[in-house]
Amino acid sequence: MTLRFSVARFYCYTQRGGYTGLLENIPCILDVNEIIEEIWKIRLVNGDELIILGATGEVIGHDFNNIYNNDNIEESSRIGWLPLNNLIDTNVELHVDNVKKEQLRIDWITYIRSKPLLFTQNNNKEYILPSRIDNSPIFLINKVITENESYPNSIHKSITFESNPLEYIYSARYVLSSVEPFTISGSLQPKPHWKVARILSFKHSLLESVESIKLPGEKVFGKMLNENICFVQTPSRGVFVLKVTGQIIGNEDDGINFMWQMILGCGYYGEVITDTENDKSFQNTRLEYFKDKLWI
């Protein structure tokens, strides 16, 4: 879970451009615990506590104790970052630095209070197997509302947890990472005559729904996918996504962003680099790339 949070935050930092000292901005994690099913609390070395979505690592709130200490909730919080539907969009303002010590959004508070706690300060810590984190059903996908019977929860009905757990999990991760802005994190913006919603629900474009998905090790365009990449086919396009967070790193027309090729050690279409001579040349290219970026 610490890896997922760090990768998700790193992804958002890179979309803003500029790399000098980039890794210094990734917060050091002191402790992590699952507080309710699929919702985790991360404690940073500076004492801050963040509440994150287990499926994608996205920040939804700050300060877990406030969830149960305040019943007078009127304003929705502005917390977390915008999920990016496009690979790089300079017109999108990211809110990764706007994680404020404010009350968690009302729909999230209502949802979390309705669930049994898995962890409190007085509980003994339980070691959670990584396989349980990666291979468990993502129930929050049921909060994604679509009006098309072929795509319940924005995933084609042919993709089910029962028939292929990993296909369903990675599809759900992609959907949750690419919902419309501010439906998972950030401010709810109700119209003047609406009340602030207490029922958790996420919006996702039908055109970006999962029609099919290729997993790491499967072939896309005749080439085997890198172990860290999935390929999602939607009704409108095909996109390459990070397996661990579901965030988009490329598309079928433009291939994978060069930076992510260098980081993941993959080719233009996410393929594994296998030929010895090509691999040597590729590693030299990576070395020069990272020297130039001065990330540390």
pLDDT tens figures, 160-206: 999 999 999 999 999 999 887 767 776 655 444 444 456 788 888 88
Nearest to 68 by CA among 100, 34, 38, 108: 108
Q: How far apart are CA 87 and CA 208, in angstroms?
A: 13
Q: Render the burial of 176-185: b for 16+ CB within 10 Å, e for the rest.
A: bbbbebbbbb
Mean predicted lDDT score pLDDT of the chain: 76
Interval 217-261: pLDDT, tens: 999 999 999 999 999 999 999 999 999 999 999 999 999 988 899
Question: Is the distance from CB of 226 to CB of 219 less than 8 angstroms?
Answer: no
CA 273-279-282 angle, to 5 degrees, is: 100
Stretch among 75-89, 123-137, 150-164, 238-252 having the lowest mean pLDDT: 75-89
Domain coordinates in residue numbering, the chain: 2-151+158-205, 211-290
The residue among 77 and 6 whose pLDDT is bigger is: 6
Per-residue CA distances from 144 to 18, 84, 88, 148, 200 (Å): 34, 17, 24, 12, 9
CA dihedral 272, 276, 279, 285 (to 10 degrees): -170
Nearest to 271 by CA among 232, 213, 220, 204: 220
- CA of residue 75 relative to chain centroid, distance: 25
